[in-house]
Structure 1
């Protein structure tokens, strides 16, 4: 209420209240359970509210009497001519006008009856109304301070005394209300903390159930993994699988033979790659023959077959003819023609080697059917997926265990906060066990 304080100081009615030092005794410690906290809070709240209301009634009676005294003073002031007959008429007019303002304001504001105090809201309304009354009376006295001090000096001390006491009483009420508000804030915090602990415990309970479910899933995966591993071991220990591996080895061994044949063919076709490349730009061959010629230049092994022999000879002879006619420019035409003829002569040999290789490899690949590799691949794929699923479940389990652990560590800290707040709102020190 800074505005009232300032006005009273202007009028000369503000004074410091003596500070009283009280001896504080150490609060006794009581052991309680977490479930007791709500009842304790309710008891403290009820007691504090009743105490606040009763103490406010005492101050309400004091302030009502102070206002009654102000009205009495106003009535005396109203009958007092303040000895203004001998002063200047203009000054007399100002004095009488100021006197009237003071009297009218006091009568209007102080002549009031307060409602009975039954609830905290009643106390708040009383505090608000009393403060407004004090402010309005203080304002008018502040404006008319010279009139009162010079022409109504005998009333000044009485007014000062009453308003000073009224301000002190209102300060006491505000202090009680402030303390009550702080208590309610602490109670709200305690209730929030209780809800937080309840939520943490609920989280631990539900998370514990989830952990059990996760572990059941992991156990199921382990059991299924063990069964699939046994199935895989059974497949790999069969005679069919042994034969399958032997055939796979034979196929792998064929790679060296293929590399040898490929090298021999590539070496020969490299000799005529330049004229073939140049011929590809001017050829009038059919589309499939052009495509065949491109593969002869890049990868002759894959197209050397009995089916392609006629087209290959056509391509070679066409290239030879263009070299002879100089349609294709080469450094040594005679040598190039000889190399084309040599390649043509070797075609049967190359085709035979490629055919024999493909036949041998084809038979071996057909023999792989002795073992159902599809079953093995499916089992190994299932095993890999189970491993990924288990890792995912273990990661979730680890995260959940950490969250549960952190929640368990957090509860004692919240309990300490509750103990601190209970101590702030109670004369007793509580230890939650």
Structure 2
């Protein structure tokens, strides 16, 4: 799929934030741990959700939209084998291992798909399974993980480095293990808190104690109804978009607490905001100031935000830097953004202890290269033909095309539609001259 953009047009109006992709997908999986029919509302109609619906149904479960954004899910699973041709579409497919193990005592799950942002190893997830009594082996011949368990037992697991997905994986598992378990060095992302709310409503008892999660599991969890909160990554996307158009876009359905760190950076560069009843407006200074960002897990500056921040910093007056510490391949968009006339170069920041700085696995005695960029601004961007490498990079390049003069073409646009619902239609309502075509 391609996006065709005639850039340089003024954008204004109001845009609505959809339900959170990373919450909806995890609650869909967690719903398979419950007895009865679970109802999720405010579910975004995006490619990843549709793909997961297809996988659940292929496994014999029931998953269907009852209206535009309401999804009903029930565990009527009939097979423990996740189809390879479906699983490669989304990374969250690996989490299906948990409900399959609790249903069949075995699960065959292929190597997961999704955005390619470096290795993103599943070793931390595998370790947590074995800690609670399961076992996993991997076949390089067919690309499947083979997991089995006779009976899970409560226990304690410590993540060597805080892991968002790993914490959710361990939470889903221990919520169904009768007894008391502890997850040490758990991640703090707001999406995890929504999963905790969901599991507690279903009959588990989970309490956060600093960096630990205390889990009183229950092997008889019941179905619930829960509304998906607004997508903070989409909020960030639209804040950047509005800032690029000098605050002419009002954003609806904004929750401030999950994005407090981002808002602090906005203040530093000269972007002010006001919020009332979920309506969010910006006031942008004529000259945006440069910034220095180091990505980190929540409550830090999230890695998903940095490609969007990079396109904004191309308009800042001065040099900005971004140091990526969460993924080792998050700058694939830089070459593409430079095609628009951006002036971005790599550099290696001084790092004394790589293992403590970087969230990904770093071989002892080595320091990763090309983990930071310097953005020289301001730069007037021009039209270009670019290729999308991952979802947030796609939004970065789309926004670059919107502020560039002339006609731009973006290939691989289906990556954007994995996480943004009807984005082209919403942008068109703001005045954007953009359309999608099949390649």
Quickly name the TM-score band, shorter chain normalised: under 0.3
Greater radius of gyration (CA): 1
For normalisation by structure 1, the TM-score amounts to 0.17
Q: Which has the higher helix share?
A: 1
For normalisation by structure 2, the TM-score amounts to 0.17
Query: Which structure's relative contact order is higher, taking Cα pairs within 8 Å and 6+ residues apart?
Result: 1
